[in-house]
Structure formats: structure tokens, C-alpha cells
Amino acid sequence: FLSLVAEFCCGFFVILILGNFWFLAVLYLLWLYLDWGTPSAGGRRSQWVRSWTLWKYFREYFPIRLIKTSELNPNHNYLLGFHPHGILVAGAFGNFCTDPPFKNLFPGLTPYLHIMPIWFGCPFFREYIMSAGMVSASKESVSHVLNNEGGGHASVIVIGGAEESLNAHPGSLTLNILKRKGFIKMALKHGAHLVPVFSFGENELFKQVANPKGSWLRNVQEKLQKIMGFALPLFHARGVFQYSFGLIPYRQPIHTVVGSPIPVKQNLNPTTEEIDQLHALYLQKLKKLFEEHKSNYGIPAHKSLIFE
């Protein structure tokens, strides 16, 4: 969905340049230059955009539900690790970029969904995603959110990143997380409490072309991902009036479960050992969260998370 909107915005910008409105394109480029740092400085959210009736229908289509398991004290800042990436990241968008799901369950907290910086280079599209509460996934951006002295900020990071979307097959429980420790270091540096979040149903929205590790397709996808910074999974789902083929996601329920916070004491210069210890604890809490709730959402008892 976001890709389609981005393509439309870029196409509109090209029309401005080639048409009789080139001066508007020049003015916008000037604005882009002056506003370039905003995605890394908290963005520019709009309550009006986040409250569009459209998002209510979006959430109800699947439907998307946010599940609270513990209180999050708004006097603290939090770093929420979202799993898995899936193809669409629908649970992250529906719960953290639209109102009222999150603010009703966690009053006093403001969520910021961190996404790849490349999206903020797209003309006009960047204004829309910032208005929804999305900000850059750069270190500078995460630091800006977590530096809030009064607390009340929640950085939401899709830990597996674009690479994990290549594992987004129905029934897949593989998470790219063993080598991803940057978010742990950021939590330690800012004293932000860590919160594991697992979105049941995220991988069920699309069917992806078989791409097992070692296959020629997977090798090509991984090389392109390293070059471009984002992955290109080959997927399909349903159409508008038929269910056999199309790009509209299947109507599969998504239950995004927010776990209990892991208290983190600020450490401006954490050692590798301290980072590894907190990372191991985070994995333990994430696995516990999954095991405690998997039976509620159709996951067989014998299936567990796989960390790569």
C-alpha cells in the first residue's frame, strides 16, 4: 500500500516538472532541502490524518487488534521491538500510525514508527508518512525520540527489517534477530525500557514465491537488498472480486500483542558483554510472550520461534 502511494506521489512530482507547474516543483525542492532533517527530529504528526475514517475500515478489513498485557508507565520512554516484519507490516501501521488503538490502551504514550530513511526522499509521500507518525530509523532519529526527558515516548522498531520480509511465508516463525543488537545498544544509552511485541497473523496476509535459503531466487533477492537497502519479495494474495490471485492482502486476523517492559538502566557506554546480556534477556522475554499467547491465535503447541 505504501509503495503504491509512494509511486503515485513520485509520478505527480514528475508531472509537475514536465508540465506547466515546474515552478511549484522548484518551490517544493526548496522546501525539501530546508525540511530534510525533520524525519530524524520527531517528524510532523497530524492528529487529523491519524484519525481518518479510512483507517477504521483498514483495521476492520483484517481485522487488526492490539492486545495489552501490562501497563506502560508514561513517565518512562520505551523501545518497542516489533516482530515479525511480514510483507505489509500491517500490524505496526494499523496499531501505531492510526488512532485510537494505541492511545486508548496506553494513555500518555506517543508512538513513533521508525522506517527506512529512503522513504523520506520521496516527494509529497514523506509529508504523508510523517503526518501518520512515522520517522526515520536512523540512530539520530531514535535518539531524538528516546531523549524526551519527561518520558512518554515510544520508539517502535521492526527489528527484522526488510531482510525478514523474505521469510514472510504463511506459517513461518523465523525471525532475523540474532545479529541485530543496535536497538539494544540504543535502549541502554538512553535508559529506555525494552518491550517485545509479537504480531500474530502478520505472515498470513500474502503467499510468497518459494525462496528457500541457497536458492537462486533468494540469492538474487539478498544481493538486491544489500544494493538498494530494501527487499523485493515476490508475493500475491487475492483480487477485488475473486480470491485466487491479486495484490490485495487476504482477510486474516492480526493480533498484535504488547509484552511486559524490561527495565533498562541508562548506560552511556555499554560494553559488548552488557549488550549481549540484555539481548539474550530480550530474546527470552520475546519467546515467553509468544509461547504464552500462541494457543490463542491458532499456533500449534509444537511450533516455536526460530531465531536467525
Domain extents for the chain?
40-307
8 A C-beta contact, residue 201 and residue 254: yes
pLDDT digits (tens, 9 = 90+) for 128-143: 999 999 999 999 999 9
182-190 and 272-293 helices cross at what angle (nearest 10)?
110
The CATH class of 40-307 is alpha beta
Residue 241 per-residue DSSP state: S
Going by C-beta distance under 8 Å and a sequence separation of 6 or more, which residues neighbour residue 77?
Answer: 145, 146, 148, 151, 152, 153, 154, 155, 190, 191, 192, 193
Q: Looking at this protein, which amino acid is placed at residue 61?
A: Y
Going by C-beta distance under 8 Å and a sequence separation of 6 or more, which residues neighbour residue 50?
Answer: 97, 98, 99, 131, 132, 133
- pTM of the predicted model, to two decimals? 0.93
pLDDT-flagged residues of the chain (< 70): 1-16, 18
